Every structure is written in C-alpha cells, then in structure tokens.
Amino acid sequence: MTNSAALIAEARTHLGGPPGPLRVGRDPVNLPMVHHWCQALDDQNQAYLDEEFAAETRGHLIAPPGMLQTWTMDAPRGAELMGSNDHVNRLLDEAGYTSVVAVNYEHEYVRELQHGERISVRSSAEDLSEEKKTGLGLGYFTTVKHEYLTDDGEVIGIGRMRLLKFKPPAAAPEVGARPTPAIGRDNQFFWDGVQAGELRIGSCNACQTLHHPPQPICRACGSTDMGHTVSTGKGVVYSHVTHHYPKLQGVELPHTVLLVELEEGVRLVSEWATAAKPETTYVGQQVQVSFTPVPGGELRPTFTAVS
C-alpha cells in the first residue's frame, strides 16, 4: 500500500466530476410494480391504487415516490464509460478498501411520477470522508449522487447514497492476530520498507556485503556504517514446511511457511500471499514478493508463485 495516500488524493480529484453513462430503466413506471410495492410495504395510499381517487386528487395515478430507485434497478450499463463515482471506487479498491456496505440513502423528490414515464439514472461522486475507524475496519465514507431523469432530460428526483468502503478484515476472528515482528534499531528499516512496499536488505555501505537478517555491524569488514538496498523481490523456494498442529495464534491452518532465496543471494522466511496460495509448494519454485496483510491486518512481505 505504498501509494495509498496518493490513490486517495487522486480519488478526491474526481469529486463533483462528470457522471457515468446514463442507465435506462427496463420498464416504464407501471401499475403491476406499484401493486407489488404497496403490498410489500402495506401502503394503501389510494393515489397509487385507486384510479378514481387519483383522478380526483392528482388527475391520474401516481407512483409512490419511495419507488424512485426501483425504476432503474437492473438497468443495463455500458462498461466503456467511467464516471467520477467509478473512478473513486476503483481507486479505493486499489488502495485496499475493497469491501463495501451501504450506510444510508436519501431521496429528494422533484415531482410525482405517472405511469408510462421511463426513468433513467446517472451517478457521480459527491463526497469522500477522511479515513475512519469503524467496527468493520478502516474505511472511507463515500457519497454517490444519483440523478433520476425522464426521457426528455428532466430531473425528477435525486438520491444520495452513503457507502462505507473498508479494508476487509484480514483475520478470521477465531485465529486472532499474528504475532508482531520484534522491531528494534537494527531492523526498523526493513519493516518501514514493508509499509512502503519495498523489500529492503541490509547492506554494508563500506563493502556492500548484504545481510539478512540485518545486523548493526558488517560481519565481512567490521564497519558500523550500515544501509540497505531494495530487493527485486524475485527468488526461489529454498525449503518449506506446512504446519498442521498445534493451533497457533494468528495462523490459519494448514499453514505453509517458505524459506525463500532471493536473487540477491540472501534468504528470508516468509509465506504465501493468502489470496494467491498455489496448490503445490516445491523447492525451486519461482516466487515474487508482494505485501499483503496477515491475520490481524498487519502487512508482511509475502510471496506469489510466478510461472
């Protein structure tokens, strides 16, 4: 998630931007759907159901305003055009906020609808909160503006949907959180690198010898001038185990642990990226680093198999 902040900043540039393509409702406003609605909600308003009463009071039958959203449900959409809302969602996904839950939906009604009118909708991004800590996880509240229009382009209603886009919890709750790495002065750079999306290897500034695990003094030349280099993240499985017993905190069983030999020549203990665990693990398997959360949500350098 190196560029999480950058992705969010980019998402903000789309707020108030152009809507996506117009999506046209499948059926015009019609009595059968109104019947279903009124039955389901036990709404006996005669302006919706009784032609005579409606003619007297409104001039014609009207649709329940609350049905605004239903007229465009399942409306087919073209994939080629991206509106501002699609961009915001895409960028949040890329930043790791891949799960979504609806928070609330507000309607604003311009006028009542009568049967036979065909309704279309277009959506745009209106607002994006700061990052919030919620019961579901870290996330952003987004506000999507839906404009409902008739065939002649008249706006007859506006809906504002607030969604929570959040990072899916990485842990099945029963396994608990993975033990945190022990971080001290001599290996802080490694874990900072993980946060920055870099696999960093300790290296001696005097003689360039690489050290993993890192150490404060170069064992080759005795220098205390230690820095680091960034690995390509390419390597091979040097050895591996699959843990079955006993249960471990923060580990979903069975759990395969890899000893990876990086192409720079150093080895590190790691594991498969949870979402990309291959069917088999074998010595010599080609792997590539990725940075993914483990149970509890902390990032680890993990690996995926490359063919």
Partner 1 sequence: MSRSFARQVAIAGIGATEFSKDSGRSELQLAGEAVLLAVKDAGLEPADVDGLTTFTMETNSEIEVAKTAGLGDLTFFSKIGYGGGAACATVQQAAIAVATGVADTVVCYRAFNERSGHRFGSGAHRGEPTSEGIAMGWVSSFGLMTPASWVAMFAQRYMHEYGATSADFGLVSVADRKHAATNPKAWFYQQPITLEDHQNSRWIVEPLHLLDCCQETDGGQALVVTTVERARDLPNPVAVVSGAAQGSAQGQQSMVSYYRDDIAGLPEMGLVAKQLWAQSGLGPDDIQTAVVYDHFTPFVLQQLEEFGFCKRGEAKDFISGGNIELGGGLPINTHGGQLGEAYLHGMNGIAEGVRQIRRTSVNQVPDVENVLVTAGTGVPTSGCILSIDQ
Our CB check for Zn ion shows the closer of 207 and 241 to be 207
Residue 93 gets which letter from DSSP? Answer: H
> What gap in Å lies between CA 279 and CA 167, rounded to an integer?
26
Q: Which stretch binds partner 1 (CB under 8 A): 34-42, 90-98, 130-138, 216-224?
A: 216-224
Give, rounded to a whole angstrom, the gap between the first and last alpha carbons of the chain.
24
Taking the C-alpha atoms of residue 76 and residue 59, their distance in angstroms, rounded to an integer, is 32
* Site string (160-189) toward partner 1, x via CB under 8 A: ------------------xxxxxxxxxx--
Which string of x and - marks every residue 212-231 that binds Zn ion (by CB under 5 A)? Answer: ------x-xx-x--------
Binds 184, which of partner 1, Zn ion, none (CB < 5 to 8 A, cut-off by type)?
A: partner 1
CB of 293 to partner 1, least distance (A): 13
Considering beta carbons, is residue 165 or 212 the nearer one to partner 1? 212
In the three-class reduction of DSSP (H, G, I as helix; E, B as strand; rest coil), residue 80 is classed as coil
Of 76, 71, 188, nearest in space to 118 by CA? 71
CB closer to partner 1, 116 vs 246: 246
90 binds, among Zn ion, partner 1, none (CB under 5 to 8 A by kind): none
Q: Choosing among Zn ion, partner 1, none, which partner's interface includes residue 255 (Cβ < 5 to 8 Å by kind)?
A: partner 1
Count the neighbouring beta carbons within 10 Å of the beta carbon of residue 200.
21
Distances (CA, A) of 297 to 95, 227, 276: 14, 28, 17
The whole-angstrom separation of Cα 175 and Cα 76 is 42
- Return the residues of window 234-273 that contact partner 1 according to CB under 8 A: 238-246, 248, 250-251, 254-255, 257, 259, 266-271
- Least CB distance from residue 74 to partner 1, whole Å? 44
Q: Which is nearer to partner 1, 101 or 283 (CB)?
A: 283
Contacts of 100 (CB under 8 A, 6+ apart): 163, 164, 165, 166
Cα–Cα distances (Å) from 112 to 117, 146, 152, in that order, read 11, 17, 16
What are the angstrom distances between the C-alpha of 170 and each of 136, 139, 177, 232?
A: 11, 14, 9, 26
Q: Does 57 bind partner 1 (CB under 8 A)?
A: no
Task: Kindly list the residues in this chain that would bind partner 1 in the complex (CB under 8 A).
Answer: 178-187, 212-213, 215-220, 222, 224, 238-246, 248, 250-251, 254-255, 257, 259, 266-271, 283, 294, 300
Task: Kindly list the residues in this chain that would bind Zn ion in the complex (CB under 5 A).
Answer: 204, 206-207, 209, 218, 220-221, 223
